[in-house]
Each structure stands twice: as structure tokens, then as C-alpha cells.
Amino acid sequence: MNLSDIYDMDIYSDGGQYIGSVKDAILDLEKGEVSRLLMEELKSNDKETAKRILQQKSILFKNIKNIGDVVLASVSMRTKQESAASNEEVSDLSMK
């Protein structure tokens, strides 16, 4: 499956709740893998907008359980570690 195949795919929690649809992705080029799926495009150079999207409108790819007709994700409350990772990603994006 290509990454482009999952764009606009609906995302559901493992409890069956609709979360949103895939609008963008963040890739870790060093590891050669997808790190996050975003439910809002990350267009803005505004650090606050990027931070909001990463914290509220994204899912870590490691939380994706299955991709078929829809994306199935295990969604739980954010841990402090995930929030810290979001802040690091915002810092990395603002440096580019």
C-alpha cells in the first residue's frame, strides 16, 4: 500500500467512533517510516497552529491497528511522553 492510498480515508477508534479523515502525514526520513497521520493539513508556518494540529488533530502511527477500507486506531488519553514528542516535532518543523 502506498501512503497516497490512505489520504482522505476515514479514521475510526477501535471502539468504533469516527475520529476524522487522513489529510496529511509526517514522515521520519531517517527511519524511513510514517510517524504521524494528521486530520488537518500542516500548511502553516505558524508554530502555534502546527502545535495545535500535532496535539489535537494527529495520531501516532504506532497507534494505528489496521488499514483497510478505513484506518483503525487505538486512541487513548495522551501521555506526557506523547505531548513532549509533539513539542519536539513542532520545534523541528519551525527550524526548516
Residue ranges for the chain with pLDDT beneath 50? 77-83, 96
- Which amino acid, residue 78? R
- Which amino acid, residue 3? L
pLDDT of residue 38: 96
Q: Which three cell numbers stand for residue 28?
A: 521520519
Query: For the chain, first and last CA: distance in Å?
Result: 29
The overall average pLDDT reported for the chain is 84
- Residue 62 is classified by DSSP as G
Tell me the pTM: 0.74
Cross-strand partners of 38: 24, 58
Domains of the chain: 3-95 (2.30.30.240)
Residue 93 CA neighbour count, 13 Å, CB half: 21
